[in-house]
Structure 1
């Protein structure tokens, strides 16, 4: 581990292809601060986009699950195939800059813990993202998939009904709540690992595998359920109603996702790397508020990183 002392005549030189864990959680906080400051109407439209993209990916996994020969002979392989496909949802959302409620629990949560945004601004961002995600999910479900007639084959309808019944009716309320904690723990870990990358492929690969884990385990994601459960209601799944969906599909998943993303991921990494620590520069640049504090205090603090080295200006000229 190299000790970096960013004082006079010293510059930052990166020696690696990814940000370190401490830098990554600092990036999370900066991104959360930025997103919380966006005009609410733009945030809502961004959240609608995220709901749409998540629904497209969810629909694609249903298609991948409807492989008759493989379903009869290798059902496990069908499950793996559909699960390994689903992470494209987070990649599309993340790379396009759309706002997902589950990701916001970590991003704005860390920014709030850092004192960069007030708690009511964090809650407002969550509120807008939730309803925007719901609007986008229902739009794709009803207009693109429903009226578009993408799932009209009896075998496809039966697949949807069985899937939604097993996801919404069979488990108890507390089971969905617990699964939702694990789900957004993995989703926010995927976002965290994605932010540690410095190029497109690194970010995509960092996001892919945690999302694959939650998908293959069948954990509950409140935004993805905004597509699956209403689509099951659309196709007349026995025992599934709007009231049941709100009680067992939205409420426990919403609370569980908030705890999993904001607590088990966001708060954990904040406590491990940023709590009571010196300000962290990203590529040698401090957050404006941190820079003002440093200028008041004089010399810049020491900073440790696994993949950075420091050289003096004299060495740089050589």
Structure 2
């Protein structure tokens, strides 16, 4: 039988591993960061497509009990994050965790943080749009009546109904849980444990109806391509901006309070 350390890292070691990951990412060549980020968008779009398929195929259940549909979608969404983590590619939301902690620990600079966040955001969007149009739309997968209706309904749910402040708060809550998922998988060593560590927080955020900017980079453009009555300008103002800012704040709150303050700052203070 293995020791405890064969199965998980202590919180303090996990926090330092987060820092080490950011330091490694800091030294990536720009073209590697771009490719990594495009792949991150593509991988997360797989989850988006599964969630969209569930909504398209469960219209009756959605009308009677939408929470059941959201819970089914929550079970599908972890797939994309598992693909991202296991392949070591870049996701804007997880880079918020890595670079916030490392910058506070003075192992990366503000410039490295801004470069990582900016490039991963832009090219995550690029990867999502590749999936939206080249793969799914031109491939006919999202042009069936059920998919068209579901994608337009999602746009109304995410952009049409809530106000800017509500969308911001949903983004805040979302990335708090996404960063928790990333942090828990850093603590975990066996593959199955990593998958479970990712699944629980991601299930919670999707089932709760929170907003993740990269996931929405797939879901909302799919609806726009299918004729949702929302302009690109409205999408930018009522989704990209508030969800991005909410994700930064939510991820920052988690990163500052848990790995940096509790598991680095406090832990090192008591070791002195």
- Fold conserved (TM > 0.5)? yes
Residues 1:267 and 2:256 are matched in the alignment: yes
Residues 1:51 and 2:41 are matched in the alignment: yes
Shift in CA distance, 71/257, structure 1 to aligned 2, threshold 3 Å: closer
Shift in CA distance, 112/154, structure 1 to aligned 2, threshold 3 Å: same
The partner residue of 2:196 within 205, 225, 231 is 205
Cα distance in structure 2, aligned partners of 1:104 and 1:165: 29
Which structure's relative contact order is higher, taking Cα pairs within 8 Å and 6+ residues apart? 1
Cα distance in structure 1, aligned partners of 2:220 and 2:67: 23
Query: How far is 1:67 from its partner?
Result: 2.5
Cα distance in structure 2, aligned partners of 1:157 and 1:212: 25
Deviations 1:43-72 (A, max 9, x none): 111000000011111011111222345446
Match runs of 1:62-211 below 5 Å: 62-68=52-58, 70-71=61-62, 75-211=66-202
Contact kept? 2:167, 2:243, Cα under 8 Å = yes
Q: Secondary structure at the match of 1:53?
A: helix
Q: Secondary structure at the match of 1:31?
A: helix
The partner residue of 1:229 within 199, 220, 226 is 220
Unmatched segments (≥5 aa) in structure 1: 1-12, 280-300, 304-318
Q: Which residue of 2 aligns with 1:255?
A: 245
Q: Secondary structure at the match of 1:66?
A: helix
Residues 1:245 and 2:257 are matched in the alignment: no
How many residue pairs align between the two structures? 268
The partner residue of 1:41 within 31, 44, 47 is 31
Deviations 1:287-308 (A, max 9, x none): xxxxxxxxxxxxxx969xxxxx
Shift in CA distance, 71/218, structure 1 to aligned 2, threshold 3 Å: closer
Shift in CA distance, 274/233, structure 1 to aligned 2, threshold 3 Å: same
Contact kept? 2:171, 2:246, Cα under 8 Å = yes
TM-score under structure 2 length normalisation? 0.93
Cα distance in structure 1, aligned partners of 2:267 and 2:131: 45
CA RMSD of aligned residues (A): 1.9
Point out the structure with max Rg over C-alpha: 1
Higher strand share: 1
Shift in CA distance, 257/74, structure 1 to aligned 2, threshold 3 Å: closer
Cα distance in structure 1, aligned partners of 2:45 and 2:4: 39
Residues 1:15 and 2:4 are matched in the alignment: yes
Cα distance in structure 2, aligned partners of 1:177 and 1:71: 25
Cα distance in structure 1, aligned partners of 2:198 and 2:31: 28
Shift in CA distance, 31/65, structure 1 to aligned 2, threshold 3 Å: same
Cα distance in structure 2, aligned partners of 1:121 and 1:64: 39
